[in-house]
Structure 1
Amino acid sequence: MDQQPVPSWLAASWQRLWVINNNQGPPKDTVNVRNIQTPTLFGDCRIPKDRPAFPDAKSLADLTDAQLKTLYAQEGFSGYTTVDGYIITWHHEIGYQPPDGTIDIGRFEILGGRNVLEHGVQAVYLEHWWRLEQSGSDFLGVKVMRKLGDGRQRVHEILSVSGDHFIYARNRDFDLPMANSLADLIKQEKYTRKQILAVLDCEVSHGFVLGGRCPWQVQFSTLPFKENKPLDFAAQIVVDPKTGALSHRCSTPDLSWSFPVNTLDIEDLLVLFPPA
């Protein structure tokens, strides 16, 4: 399916300033929310501000059961976006939380400067969004599909880049059943610790392409041990110095890569993805 590009005012990097749910004020800002919108692909990362950092952890297995519970409320999703006037629909192809049967759809109200309001369509909420950078033309979108044992394909990874901001999403190895939330799902299914580790093994990370302390530095992530480190996925991308064509450094037969969004010059690509 050919996806039509979103309007130029929407293609940008965004930060949510506050939200009001169910018309119950005052506005709240308790979650670090970043949204990257390319002309077609998008990524959204939402990490509660009171979630611990766990700087000594190197994997989910390093966390205690109580520490793992602090990850249940995180949110993150990635996929593609469709637009009908000012009605925006985000089609989730990767999601940290389980599906709950609702559609992610909102009506945008453009204010002055870098400000927009998002009004809920299926749910009652109001969100104030701030554009982090001026709308530009520097976008990159990468999608990796995984071939399943039955021959079907499933979205495995998505990288969405706008200006100096990126969101990377990696799917877990299985689909979650429908539930109101991840916490509810884990409770109702009575998952073992091993199963909980597998359920939580879904990465959605926001970071800076070159504006951090290192190239491709992760700022927020559903996997806390990824924060403040380089994004591993970026090291897998290769640029042909003559044509600017993008490819992957190494892969397996079950993975297929595509680069559906790329508005960058060859010189810029070689800076972002230098030869090994």
Structure 2
Amino acid sequence: MARMTLLPYDVQPDTAPPVPQSYRGLWRRTLLTTGDGRIDRETRVFWMQTARLHIDIRVPATRGTFGTASALAELTCEQLIDLAAQMGFAGATTVDEAAVAIDAGDDRLDRCTWHRQIDFSPPSNARDLGTMRFETPHVVLEDGIEAVYHERWERDPASLGATWAVRLSRESAHAAGVLADDPDGAARDDAPSVFIARCGDFFMLARSRSPRAQAVLASCRGKRLVEVVRDPALAIDDVRALLDFEISLGRVRGNDGARWTIELSTLPWREGQPAFTDSVSAALDQLQAARGYGADPT
């Protein structure tokens, strides 16, 4: 097998300081309220935060079942529309501590900015900004700055521990089984971006659709993905390309790399399956054991 290249994300040059330790881990959203009175406790929303990288997945509780389907090519138009209701994104996080005054008093809130580098949804002009207040070390309350919403996040204690993030080279992404096109195409510019993060016992994988498919969304700025894929002028193969975007959350249950198992995914047939090939899992195990962001496993 070709040499794997795991590019450490959390030590990339950046003018912003790393995210404070208090934010790192896997957080589950347990409450959302919006300015129009909507309350949501059912959507499965998880946010993983490392020193710099965030990965976020949002799966509606109403998402249907897909029988024995094992690929987007096997889904009907209605099933594809169902998948388009999901959300998720990944990118860099910055935290400005004590940046927002509360009623001009002495108390101040942190301001978080999530800079999305890949996004399941079409492009948007909106920024993702929130004020953050820790109710306890494992409960943080978020309020929108440029949108009216309130979210409650609870951190899973099992996500405490070694935390890191990497970007896979294109060749390694093929070896990991998260790119389905032929390996010879890995060197072309249309290969998607792939990130992997781990916090304690949990990991997340984010793999974007191809830039070619992303270009289709460029003219749909501000729309919901469901609106885009419902367009009868869009060929079904283009719909499938738009939905070929994976965000998966899983758990590592021991030192055996084969136990990097997906529990929730934007591609439902991946759930319950190994996330990576044995060789890639073993390389990630070595990285975890070393806690070496600059490690170069083979």
State the TM-score bracket (shorter-chain normalisation): 0.7 to 0.9
**Length-normalised TM-score, structure 1:** 0.79
Distance 1:151 1:240, change over 3 A: closer
Is 1:68 aligned with 2:75? no
> What are the within-5 Å matches in structure 2 for residues 186-201 of structure 1?
186-188=229-231, 190-201=233-244
Contact 1:145/1:153 (8 A) holds in 2: no
Question: What SS is found at the alignment partner of 1:67?
Answer: helix
Aligned residues: 248
Q: Which of residues 92, 95, 102 in structure 1 aligns to 2:116?
A: 92
Cα-to-partner distance string for 1:214-241 (whole Å, 9 max, x where unaligned): 6111111111111111102774355499
Counterpart check, 1:43 vs 2:67? no
Structure 1: gaps of 5 or more residues: 247-263
Please identify, of 177-186 and 62-71, the stretch whose mean Cα deviation from structure 2 is larger.
Answer: 177-186
Q: 1:133 to 1:47 in 2, by over 3 A?
A: same
Distance (whole Å) between structure 1 residues aligned to residue 251 and residue 278 of structure 2: 12
> Could you tell me how far apart the structure 1 residues matched to 2:279 and 2:59 are?
25
Q: Deviations over 1:172-195 (max 9, x none)?
A: 112231232101223458311111
The answer to whether the aligner puts 1:182 opposite 2:225 as a matched pair is yes
Whole-angstrom distance in 2 between the partners of 1:113 and 1:203:
30
Q: Once the 2 structures are TM-superposed, how far is the Cα of residue 29 of structure 1 from its aligned partner? A: 1.1
Which residue number corresponds to residue 28 of structure 2? 15
| Alpha-carbon shift at residue 207 of structure 1 (Å) | 1.1
Report the AA paired with residue 139 of structure 2.
N
Report the aligned-residue RMSD.
3.1
Q: Match for residue 173 of structure 1?
A: 210
Aligned residue in 2 for 1:82: 94
Aligned twin of 1:206: 249
Please list, as runs of the form range in 1=range in 2, the aligned pairs for 1:1-276 lying within 5 A after superposition: 1-2=13-14, 3-22=16-35, 24=37, 27-85=39-97, 86-133=110-157, 136-144=160-168, 156-174=193-211, 175=214, 176-177=217-218, 178-188=221-231, 190-210=233-253, 215-232=259-276, 235-236=279-280, 239=283, 264-266=288-290
User: What displacement does 1:50 show?
Assistant: 1.2
Q: Is the 8 A contact 2:260 2:281 kept in 1?
A: no
Q: Distance in 1 between matches of 2:272 and 2:64?
A: 14
Deviation at 1:152, TM superposition (A): 7.2
- The answer to which of 4-13 and 140-149 deviates more is 140-149
- Name the structure with the higher strand share: 1
CA contact (8 A) 1:100 1:179 kept: yes
CA contact (8 A) 1:79 1:92 kept: yes
| 3-state SS in 1 of match to 2:241 | helix
Q: Deviations over 1:67-106 (max 9, x none)?
A: 1111111001111111111111111111111112111111
Q: Deviations over 1:110-135 (max 9, x none)?
A: 10252111001111100010011167
- 8 Å CA contact 2:23–2:49 kept in 1: the answer is yes
CA distance in 1, matches of 2:237, 2:44: 28
Code of the aligned partner of 2:81: K
TM-score w.r.t. the length of structure 2 is 0.74
Q: Distance in 2 between matches of 1:81 and 1:31?
A: 23
Q: SS of the residue aligned with 2:68?
A: coil
Structure 2 residue identity aligned to 1:161: R
Using the alignment, how far apart are the partners of 1:156 and 1:96 within structure 2? 12
- Give per-residue Cα distances to partners, 1:28-58, cap 9 Å, x unaligned: 2121011110111110011111102324111
